Amino acid sequence: MYGIPSYFTYPTSDYPRYISSFYYYEPYPLWPRDYPPVNTKILSHSITAYPKLLHDASLVLNKLGNAQIAQQLMANAQNGNQKEVDHIVRSFGLESVVATRYTPSSVQFTINPHAEGKPCCTLTMSLQWGE
């Protein structure tokens, strides 16, 4: 009764039938990969643009340090007034483009340099303002 497989309520394991290999998949490719030559032009452009983003982030933090501005921003965000929130952030006098997103517990500022074409870098700040 107990040795007959038809009485098992669960499928039996087929694990012993398979040969166990330490590397089932190759740990690394066996052929040499062709990578493009290293070009640091884009990286150096990002590095030169990033201090401006840090400066604008510092301006945002300094402005939000003012309790009246922080209260206005939070009240408009709580009411779902995205246009007014964007207006308040634009009034900070930033040179970069700032996208603001908020939830009941935090606000997120994504700062991009004001440039045409592909953005070279992005600075994102998340600040808690609720529980």
3-state secondary structure 45-66: HHHHHHHHHHHHHHHHHHHHCC
The pLDDT value given to residue 33: 74
The pLDDT value given to residue 42: 86
**pLDDT, tens digit (0-9, with 9 covering 90-100), for 69-110:** 999 999 999 999 999 999 999 999 998 999 999 998 999 999
Burial 3-28, CB ≥16 within 10 A → b, else e? eeeeeeeeeeeeeeeeeeeeeeeeee
The pLDDT value given to residue 81: 92
Q: Which residue has the higher pLDDT, 55 or 17?
A: 55
For residues 20-36, average pLDDT: 64
For residues 2-21, average pLDDT: 54
pLDDT over 90 (residue 115): no
pLDDT over 80 (residue 54): yes
The pLDDT value given to residue 58: 96
Residue 114 banded pLDDT, cuts 50, 70, 90: confident
